[in-house]
Structure formats: C-alpha cells, structure tokens
Amino acid sequence: MSVMKRKIGDRDVYPVGLGCMNITHAYGPPLDETAAKALLVRAVDLGCDFLDTATIYGFGRSEELIGEALRHRRGEFLLASKCVLGFRDGQRTLDARPEAIRAACEASLKRLQTDTIDLYYMHRPDANVPIEDSVGALAELVAEGKIRMIGLSEMGEAHLRRAHAVHPIAAMQSEYSLWVRNPEIAVKAACEELGVALVAFSPVGRGFLADPPVDPASFHDADLRRSMFPRFLPENYARNLPLLDEARACAQEAGCSVAQLALAWTLAKGKNVIPIPGTTNLSHLEDNHAAGAITLPAEMVARLDRHFLPEKAVGPRYTPMGQAVVSTEMYDFEGRA
C-alpha cells in the first residue's frame, strides 16, 4: 500500500518515525548492544526514515549505537538529536548557553559518526538563557552545515513564536496521544500556522495505550515511570484503565491493535503530525510501522476525542520537578487529581 509521506522542513518522511530513547534507558535496563543495533537496522529496512535520539539518552549511548549501526546507511533516514539537556560526570545538566549548544553539537556529531545532524532540537527551555540567544547559536550551526534544521521540544506557543522569529523552526516535539492532549491547548495550532511539524513523542502513552497495557507492578527499579510520571502510580493507574475499554472496541472495529489505533489517531490530527513511538521489541516495531498505512474514519476519531477528554486522565503528566522544566501549556485542572 502506498503511504503519503509527511514533511519536516524540506524533507519528506514516512508518517511514523522511531524514538530511540528506550533502547538505552528510561523504561528499565538498556537493550543488549547486539539487539539494539538489530532493531535500528530493522527499522531502516522497514522504511522507517526518521530516527529521533538525544544527547541525554543513555548519556550519549543512543547516539553512539545509531552511529555504529547505521553510519554506512546515513543517507537513508532523517537523523534528529537534541541538546540543552546533557550530562557532565554522569549527572544530568540543563544548559542552553550558545557555547554549551556548540560543544554539545560537536560531541553528538562524533558519537553519531556523521558530518551533519538533519534536525537538532533544544530539548528543554532554559530559564537562565533567552531562547533568542540559543536559537541564534543553532542558526550559526545551520550556516556552518553542522545541522540542517532547528527544532524545539516540550515548549509552548510563546517559546515557539520567539524562536521562529529568529530562525525558522522545522519541528516542535511534544508529548501527544489520546492520553496526553496538551498540544491542543495552543502549540498545535501555532505549528499549523507557522508550517512546523508536530513530532508526537510517547504516542502510545508510555505503554498505557496497548493491549494488554503495561503493568506498573512489573516495572524495573530503574523504570522512570515509577518516579517521574504520576499517572502510573497504582492508585491513579487503576482509575485510568477503564479508558481503554473504548480504545479496544475501536481497535476491533478498525481491525488493528490498540497501539496502532493510538498511532493512527495522532496521524488523523493533522498532516503535520508525526508520531515517534519507541520500542525495544521487533514485533512492536513492525506493528508501529504498519500503523502509518491506517486511516481511521472521521467519526471514529471524533468518538475517541470525546471518550479521551483530557480531564478524564487521572493524575498529572509529570511530577512538579518534571513540569518545572517544560513550557508546554497545561490545562487548568491539571495537578489536582
């Protein structure tokens, strides 16, 4: 089946990309190196041509794996990475000063074994540095050919507009799924107006929007869902599970898995929306990729919209510490559950 590609800047990509965070950290122990490289190669073999990583993922190891596994196939995919969130002496740092951005880019280029990063995001806003200064530094990297396009991540409309006034922004990465609809407050419309791709991370709800959904009782001690994402706390998660009944019903009607339904829903929310599910499982990788060819009926999209109203999700998206470093708009009711 022919699938219409979507645009990031001047590049066309398959509608479903690959997030490369959890091959190295976040949801438990990292994948075995051989398995991680096999998954990356399989993604490109399938036709996945948008790989999204970051300096902080595995303290640089995600970038290294992409470089080691795919350096000879560099022309087959759009490569995205991120700066500002970084690491020093094994500790996480937040630094959007121009000199820090330049140093981070040079380090990423070496780990990725490439001369150019196609899309380079600011991973988070830095309250200590005007975004105009940070984007100015990124614009210099574009002029030098070190990066091709500039992106932002987990920022709201105000930051997007200020950044775009300095240099065109190609993509805004935001958490966006049936379970997290904050981009619909403001940034989604701003992206449409400015011609910015909306890259949806965690479009399968960090495993919630699957059948069966993830079981928090089975999470590894190193799984960030235990500490950073309150919706997975036992008392909240149990109250969220009934939301899946309608998703299962719709998936059965559409002839797809619940995860594919979740991805197809994001694709239906705009031609500029590109989900980047992550996985460590080859079967799930293939399932996610196949979702790029699924088109949901408009009435089913509206039905899911009504069922997954934002106020029905139990628990805040982030802990207060996590929320403090993003500027994506919040709903008035968030944090009260």
pLDDT digits (tens, 9 = 90+) for 272-310: 999 999 999 999 999 999 999 999 999 999 999 999 999
Phi, psi (degrees; rounded to nearest 5) at 106: -60, -40
Confirm whether 122 is domain-assigned: yes
- Look up 318 and say whether it is catalytic: no
Q: Which of 54, 53, 52, 47 is nearest to 76 (CA)?
A: 47
For residue 5, pLDDT beyond 70: yes
* Averaged pLDDT for residues 21-36: 93
Please give the backbone phi and psi of residue 287, each rounded to the nearest 5 degrees, phi first.
-60, -45
Asked, for residue 334, whether it belongs to a domain, the answer is: no
Residue from 14, 27, 57, 318 carrying the catalytic annotation: 57
Residue at 330 is within a domain: no
What sign does the CA torsion over 54, 207, 244, 326 have? negative
In a domain, 49, yes or no: yes
Residue 215 located in a structural domain: yes
36, two tokens? 């991680």
| φ, ψ for residue 87, nearest 5 deg | -150, 150
For residue 336, the model assigns a pLDDT of: 45
Q: Evaluate whether residue 210 is within a structural domain.
A: yes
Is position 328 within any domain?
no
Class of residue 21 by CB neighbours under 10 A (exposed 0-12, middle 13-18, buried 19+): buried
Range of the domain at 270: 6-323
What pLDDT, in 10s, does the model give residues 237-265?
A: 999 999 999 999 999 999 999 999 999 99
- The answer to whether residue 87 sits within a structural domain is yes
Please report where in the chains the tokens 């419309």 appear, as a residue. 189
Number of domains in the chain: 1
pLDDT given for residue 291 in this prediction: 98
Distance CA 20, CA 65 (A): 10
Average pLDDT, the chain: 96
- Look up the CATH number of the domain holding residue 165: 3.20.20.100
pLDDT at 113 exceeding the cut of 60: yes
